[in-house]
Amino acid sequence: MSRPEYRVGSGRPTYGALGMESNIEIDSEGVRVTDDGDVERIRLGRLGSGNYGLRVKNGADVTVIDGTSDMFRIAAAGTLSKSVVNGDIQEVANVTLSALGALAAPPAHVSHIWLNNIVSDDRRPGMFIAINGVADGALTPPMGAYVASYLDGADIPNVRLVVTNANSGPLTVKARYYLLQQEAI
């Protein structure tokens, strides 16, 4: 398919494709990017009557960003670590995220946990529970860990790593978290 070549005029690009083999085109509605079958995958500009923004479609022609739905942004990220000695039932590592200010609702979060002295740094999504194990043919007490996000009494977001270790050996748990806030686009 032949497309018009990008031309430089008065400092503004004229309508048409940006280069003979380009899938990027400037038209009266904005900028569009097409796939090799000339199916629009990205549109930046006018999306409809009075609606301007960004629309992205995946290979199955499903809109994944439409310029009207909310999205999540990473509002805070960090790590927590807690070492629990022999037989401690529960220990907590907590971080207060005062810089985010008071929130109307508890934030969403994504996290993963790893036990650096037990399983050569395998990452697990936000929770690890080993109800019982077996050592020397006998059942061992439970151990586990999870990450939670919550609002304190002043509605300030917090992230907490809770570790339980009723086992007889020490346990060190580390966590990485991403706190998400909904944003209108």
Characterize the bridge pairing of strands 108-114 and 171-183.
antiparallel
pLDDT of residue 9: 45
95-113 pLDDT tens trace: 999 999 999 888 888 998 8
pLDDT of residue 102: 93
Cα(112)–Cα(178) distance, integer angstroms = 9
Give the phi and the psi of residue 165 in degrees, each rounded to 5.
Answer: -145, 95
Does the pLDDT at position 185 exceed 90? no
123-181 pLDDT tens trace: 667 676 665 555 555 555 567 788 889 999 999 999 999 888 776 677 788 888 999 88
pLDDT of residue 10: 42
52-87 pLDDT tens trace: 888 888 888 888 777 667 778 889 999 998 888 766
Question: pTM for the complete prediction?
Answer: 0.60
How far is residue 14 from each of residues 3, 7, 11, 48, 54, measured CA to CA in Å?
Answer: 13, 6, 9, 22, 21
Cα(1)–Cα(143) distance, integer angstroms = 63
Pair of tokens at residue 135: 């050592």
Place of tokens 């008071």: 102
- The total of other beta-carbon atoms located within 10 Å of residue 108's CB is 13
pLDDT of residue 95: 93
Does the pLDDT at position 41 exceed 70? yes
Domains in the chain and their CATH numbers? 16-65 (no CATH), 72-183 (2.60.120)
pLDDT of residue 1: 46
Amino acid making up residue 50 = G
pLDDT of residue 155: 94
From 93, 88, 80, 94, select the one nearest 170 (Cα to Cα): 88
CB contact set of 49 (below 8 Å; sequence gap of 6+)? none
